[in-house]
């Protein structure tokens, strides 16, 4: 098998020479030989002219035969190349850990010569190792570098960019809005890379199938696009359940029926940035090479125009962004069996908290590659605060092909560089102190701001971040810029800031903590007191996660997200929509005194003599 690429390359050379002779009656290699053996004896010129006339007569007589033979050989070689390259991709998909791509590198170069295109880049963007080594990976203002030896991906440069050859599909999820679908498809058809991926519209509202398909038909002349019909399910009564079921259907179809290796999911109330597909092609190899990355998203919850997001900069986040996202087929089996029937605050919150994918990360851009354009949706309506927020979002205008090296996002390199960047930062304990430091700011230096989730809404409002819960973070770190001065900021969670914040700024779990299951409808204050302990509200957050809940409750219907001061808890009331679910929260702050008749609380109880001392 290893010799086959060499054989095909040699066969290609022979076929090309044969066709060349058939077309012109000349052979450039033979002509070189004749010139190198020009006779030097007297009378040899006449002999040479005679031989040349005889050769021309011979070539003319056999020209049709040579042309036919060359064409047959060239066709045969081309078919072999296509079949062999396809086999290589299948093997590489199934056995990527063996790095088969390097064995097919030479063959793909031959295929490019035969088919007249660059196999891995339909737009002829430079992708050589030399060109890539000159592409900066921007971490922050004043910090621009390419990480030396950063990636195993440099060993297989043909993987950059990826998704060619039908390995990926773009799936647009639509319900009953033809106007939204048309806007989304307008932005999709403008993508230069569109021919490299399959395109599908997934529909879930039978009464609207005909009018939605009419929209699709208008675009079918411009590019090939399929339609999927989700079977109707009368048991789905509320919007969050219907949307979750549609996503499950679309993901299942993508990987189990269509056989995509990568799938990009887009809701039809989004439009796409100019380099939307290029962005996903460039980042797809991260899903192949870095097992700590499970998704790539086109969205940034903190990508507001006032914060001057950098169109060239991407980051890692353990908070699932959604709104245009890609996963690989190997991720779906991890989600399929536990996909929620009723995610009460949305399937996306379940992905963040209940899917079990943490601590794996997603890749996201500072400047979003999608834009929300509708005001009549389930959650986004005219005049609502969420719509006003979305209208402030930036959208990247970076042209196709201008985003380059992303190897700095590989886990080891990213963690090392971020830690060094933050260790060189400057600690500020309040926004008033930050204002005093800004005039003396050092270019590229981050200002480190400690925070806790309970106090985040007030901080987010002042810094014009997404309100409510901390979004876009990574290991408790949220990178941003000051809304007026654009000074670099790094908000660091006191509970996760070990090694980055001074000891007196950290909020640690009390070593004497005891996780206690309260009685149904009982508060943590009562449960801890009954156990001879006390409830400290600062310590409750250390039990606010699905892993802790699953150790103490059966969580028959999974672990989900909700809002309430009695969370974390288990819903024992069978009359509730969330019955038999374990619930966590990232919005409301847990309270020791809170209780609810439908839930059983999980409490973090602290020894009475230590209460409050650890966090004072």
Backbone angles phi, psi at 559, to 5 degrees: -120, 125
Using a 10 angstrom Cβ sphere, with 0-12 exposed, 13-18 middle and 19 or more buried, the burial of residue 57 is exposed
Beta-bridged to residue 328, according to DSSP, are 262
Q: Left (φ > 0), alpha (ψ -120 to 50) or beta: where does 42 sit?
A: beta
- SS3 category, 591: coil
Nearest Cα neighbor of 145 from 338, 491, 420 is: 420
- SS3 category, 443: coil
Nearest-angstrom CA–CA distance, 343 and 345: 6
Q: Are 456 and 541 in contact (CB under 8 A)?
A: no
Sign, CA dihedral 146-150-151-156, equals positive
Backbone angles phi, psi at 420, to 5 degrees: -65, -40
Q: Are 147 and 407 in contact (CB under 8 A)?
A: yes
Nearest-angstrom CA–CA distance, 559 and 582: 5
Q: Are 377 and 269 in contact (CB under 8 A)?
A: yes
| Tokens coding 369 | 């590659």
Cα dihedral value 128, 134, 137, 140, nearest 10: -170
Catalytic residue (choose from 193, 318, 348, 361): 348
Beta-bridged to residue 28, according to DSSP, are none
The residues near 276 (Cβ < 8 Å, ≥ 6 apart) are: 187, 191, 298, 324, 369, 370
Nearest-angstrom CA–CA distance, 535 and 390: 39
Q: Are 269 and 387 in contact (CB under 8 A)?
A: no
Supply the DSSP string of 569-582, one letter for each residue: EEE--TTSTTTT-E
Using a 10 angstrom Cβ sphere, with 0-12 exposed, 13-18 middle and 19 or more buried, the burial of residue 330 is middle
Q: Are 104 and 88 in contact (CB under 8 A)?
A: yes
Report the run of H or E that residue 584 belongs to, with start and end.
strand 582-584
Residue 461 CB neighbour total at 10 angstroms? 10
Q: What is the largest CA-CA distance in the chain?
A: 121
Q: Are 352 and 587 in contact (CB under 8 A)?
A: no
Per-residue CA distances from 91 to 23, 423, 500 (Å) = 39, 44, 44
Nearest-angstrom CA–CA distance, 616 and 611: 9
How big is the CA angle at 325 (ends 322 and 330), to the nearest 5 degrees?
A: 115
How big is the CA angle at 386 (ends 243 and 473), to the nearest 5 degrees?
A: 85
Active site residue 186: no
Nearest Cα neighbor of 283 from 160, 369, 192 is: 160
Nearest Cα neighbor of 323 from 369, 288, 379 is: 369
Report cis status (omega within 30 of 0) of the bond before 218.
no
Beta-bridged to residue 501, according to DSSP, are 498
Nearest-angstrom CA–CA distance, 323 and 325: 6
Q: Which residues are catalytic?
A: 348
């Amino acid at each position: 098998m290893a010799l086959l690429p060499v054989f095909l390359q040699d066969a290609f050379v022979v076929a090309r020479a044969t066709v060349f002779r058939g077309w012109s009656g000349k052979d450039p290699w033979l002509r070189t030989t004749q010139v190198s053996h020009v006779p030097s004896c007297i009378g040899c010129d006449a002999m040479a002219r005679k031989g040349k006339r005889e050769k021309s007569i011979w070539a003319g007589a056999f020209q049709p035969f040579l042309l036919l033979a060359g064409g047959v050989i060239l066709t045969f070689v081309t078919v072999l190349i296509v079949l062999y390259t396809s086999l290589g991709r299948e093997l590489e998909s199934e056995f990527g850990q063996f790095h088969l791509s390097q064995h097919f590198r030479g063959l793909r170069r031959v295929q490019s010569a035969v088919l007249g295109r660059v196999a891995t880049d339909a737009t002829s963007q430079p992708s050589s190792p030399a060109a890539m080594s000159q592409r900066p990976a921007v971490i922050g203002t004043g910090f621009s570098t390419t990480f030396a030896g950063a990636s195993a991906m440099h060993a297989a440069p043909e993987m950059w960019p990826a998704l060619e050859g039908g390995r990926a599909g773009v799936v647009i999820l639509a319900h009953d809005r033809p106007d939204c679908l048309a806007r989304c498809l307008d932005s999709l058809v403008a993508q230069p890379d569109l021919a490299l991926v399959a395109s599908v519209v997934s529909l879930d509202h039978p009464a609207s199938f005909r009018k939605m398909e009419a929209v699709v038909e208008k675009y079918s002349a411009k590019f090939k696009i399929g339609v999927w019909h989700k079977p109707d399910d009368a048991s789905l009564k509320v919007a969050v359940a219907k949307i979750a079921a549609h996503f499950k259907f679309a993901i299942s179809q993508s990987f189990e029926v269509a056989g995509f290796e990568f799938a990009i999911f887009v809701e039809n109330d989004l439009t796409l940035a100019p380099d939307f597909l290029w962005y996903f092609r460039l980042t797809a190899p991260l899903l192949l090479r870095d097992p700590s990355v499970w998704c790539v998203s086109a969205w940034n919850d903190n990508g507001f125009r006032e914060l001057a997001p950098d169109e060239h900069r991407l980051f890692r986040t353990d908070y699932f962004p959604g709104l245009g996202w890609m996963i690989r087929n190997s991720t779906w089996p991890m989600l399929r069996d536990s996909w929620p029937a009723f995610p009460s605050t949305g399937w996306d919150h379940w992905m963040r908290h209940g899917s079990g994918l943490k601590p794996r990360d997603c890749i996201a851009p500072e400047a979003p590659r999608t834009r929300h354009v509708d005001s009549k949706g389930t959650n986004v309506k005219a005049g609502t605060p969420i719509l006003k927020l979305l209208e402030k979002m930036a959208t990247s205008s970076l042209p196709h092909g201008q985003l380059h090296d992303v190897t700095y996002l590989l886990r080891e390199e990213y963690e090392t560089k971020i830690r060094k960047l933050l260790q060189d930062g400057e600690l500020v304990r309040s926004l008033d102190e930050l204002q005093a430091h800004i005039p003396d700011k050092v270019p590229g230096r981050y200002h480190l701001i400690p925070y806790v989730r309970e106090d985040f809404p007030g901080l987010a409002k002042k810094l014009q971040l997404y309100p409510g819960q901390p979004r876009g973070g990574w290991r408790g770190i949220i990178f941003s810029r000051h809304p007026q001065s654009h000074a670099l900021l790094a908000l660091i969670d006191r509970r996760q800031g070990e090694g980055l914040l001074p000891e007196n700024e950290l909020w640690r779990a009390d070593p004497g903590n005891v996780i206690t299951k309260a009685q149904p409808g009982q508060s943590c204050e009562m449960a801890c007191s009954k156990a001879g302990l006390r409830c400290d509200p600062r310590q409750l957050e250390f039990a606010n996660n699905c892993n802790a809940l699953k150790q103490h409750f059966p969580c028959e219907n999974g672990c989900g997200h909700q809002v309430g001061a009695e969370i974390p808890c288990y819903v024992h009331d069978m009359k509730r929509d969330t019955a038999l679910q374990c619930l966590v929260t990232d919005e409301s702050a847990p309270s020791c005194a809170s209780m609810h008749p439908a839930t059983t609380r999980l409490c973090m109880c602290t020894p009475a003599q230590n209460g409050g001392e650890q966090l004072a």
